[in-house]
Amino acid sequence: MKDPFETLYTDLASRKLGGQAIACSNDFFAEMENLLKLEDPVFQKGVFTERGQLMDGWESRRRRFLPDGTTDDGLEYDWCIIKLGAQGIIRGVNVDTAHFLGNAPQSVSLEACVSEGNPDDNTEWTEIVVRSEVGPGAPHYFAVESEQVWTHVRLNMYPDGGIARLKVYGEVIPDADLFLPGELIDLAYIKNGARPVVCSDMFFSHMENMIMPGRGVNMGDGWETKRRRTIGDAEKDRFNDWLILKLAAKGSIEKVLVDTAHFKGNYPHSFAIEAAVLTEEQAADVAALEADSHQDALMSGRAQPSEINWQPIMDRTRLYDDREHTFKKEVQNNDQAFTHVRVKMYPDGGISRVRLWGYPSESLASVTGK
């Protein structure tokens, strides 16, 4: 089953954003840190540690219920507290029990809280996913209906067992108190609230990588498309790859960085950036392209709606392999503010990171609702 949340929202618990498992009731068989691994869970049959079969997930010891109704450890279920890498509104959850077959929990629930530091005994938790049955060896998707901004979640599993991965999908809402008045901010940074909307292709790696923290750690940690086999005028849009990005806030663009770290035999020849102000309706139309075949959309012209007034920010500019490219004097901002940008790369290839520094046209407090 295709993950219904992955292309719509950001995994707020991702280790790429700084997500961290900070406490659990018990992880006797497999460490809680495994829950947030970036890699898909694997099973190594016949590989044992001194505590049993090596499992790629979080697995607690077996809980024993006594005749008087109590348990041997005084708990009725296991729990794990996760600090979100970015605070935000949670829209959906994936609790994956991959490879946990005879040792999956019977049911799970999820609670959330707001805490400046690590949660403690006085922390107030709110249930956002009610206790629900789960099965062995499969992903389990739960929609969340809450407009609250959360900083931590607590995953509960009943009565014990193992869970391979946890994804907490939602919308990043940055803390406005962390910004200075008039501060130049990266409007393309995911932890500031930026979000990729749609792209022409992401065959090798996800478009969201392009706005993640830090430099890419390897060639897989960027946005990379397949080799384009079209023949024609490379200046025409349909002969290049592109990505539309919703900025963290409506603002000007003053400085640009394009990083091709680790892309050596497959970096783009050149790139260009355009910007526009999109209405909510236009943004929804662009997002709807996700359901289209990218190649069909490219060739028909539907992928780049003509009613959007795209304005040049960076003319087509040469790129080089495995390098940070920074531009200031080349940026054409014209003192305008934009909500979305379109990054083009000619003709295809991979970009590790894009940074777009600018000034929000409104205070971050009004943008984030604080």
The pLDDT tens digits for 26-51 are 999 999 999 999 999 999 999 999 98
Rounded to the nearest 5°, which phi and psi values hold at 3?
Answer: -65, 115
Q: How far apart are CA 290 and CA 187, in angstroms?
A: 23
Cα–Cα distances in Å, from 93 out to 5, 22, 39?
8, 19, 17
Percent of the residues in the chain that have a pLDDT greater than 90, as a whole number: 81
- Predicted confidence band at 297 (pLDDT cuts at 50, 70, 90)? very low
Return the pLDDT at 298: 41
More confident residue, 231 or 193: 193
Q: How far apart are CA 216 and CA 228, in angstroms?
A: 23
Q: Which two tokens stand for residue 34?
A: 């495994």
Q: What is the mean pLDDT of residues 60-70?
A: 94
Q: What is the mean pLDDT of residues 214-241?
A: 81
Q: How far apart are CA 323 and CA 326, in angstroms?
A: 10
| Predicted confidence (pLDDT) at residue 114 exceeds the cutoff of 60 | yes
SS3 call for 148: coil
What stretch of H or E contains 82?
A: strand 78-96
Q: How far apart are CA 11 and CA 9, in angstroms?
A: 7
Return the pLDDT at 60: 97
- Which pLDDT tens digit goes with each residue over 14-29? 999 999 999 999 999 9
- Predicted confidence band at 296 (pLDDT cuts at 50, 70, 90)? very low
**Cα 284–287–293 angle (5° rounding)?**
135
SS3 call for 160: coil
Amino acid identity of 229? R
Return the pLDDT at 238: 59
Return the pLDDT at 303: 43
Question: Average per-residue pLDDT in the chain?
Answer: 91
> Which 8-state DSSP code applies to residue 8?
T
Return the pLDDT at 294: 43
Return the pLDDT at 116: 93
Q: How far apart are CA 84 and CA 112, in angstroms?
A: 10
Q: Which two tokens stand for residue 226?
A: 């397949």
| Predicted confidence (pLDDT) at residue 325 exceeds the cutoff of 80 | yes
**Burial of 181 from C-beta contacts in 10 A (0-12 / 13-18 / 19+):** exposed
> Which 8-state DSSP code applies to residue 205?
B
DSSP string computed for 159-183: SS-EE-EEEEEEEE---GGGS-TT-
> Which 8-state DSSP code applies to residue 367?
H
Return the pLDDT at 366: 52
Closest CA to 29 of 76, 78, 69: 78
Residue with tokens 């495995």: 322
Give pTM, 2 decimals: 0.88
Q: How far apart are CA 272 and CA 99, in angstroms?
A: 44
**Burial of 68 from C-beta contacts in 10 A (0-12 / 13-18 / 19+):** exposed
Amino acid identity of 328? K
Q: What is the mean pLDDT of residues 176-183?
A: 90
Which of 115-129, 205-219, 256-270, 272-286 bottoms out in mean pLDDT, i.e. has the lowest?
272-286
Which of 138-152, 233-247, 293-307 bottoms out in mean pLDDT, i.e. has the lowest?
293-307
- Which pLDDT tens digit goes with each residue over 51-62? 899 999 999 999
Closest CA to 79 of 16, 135, 11, 125: 125
Return the pLDDT at 264: 97
Which of 127-131, 185-189, 363-367 bottoms out in mean pLDDT, i.e. has the lowest?
363-367
| Predicted confidence (pLDDT) at residue 364 exceeds the cutoff of 50 | yes
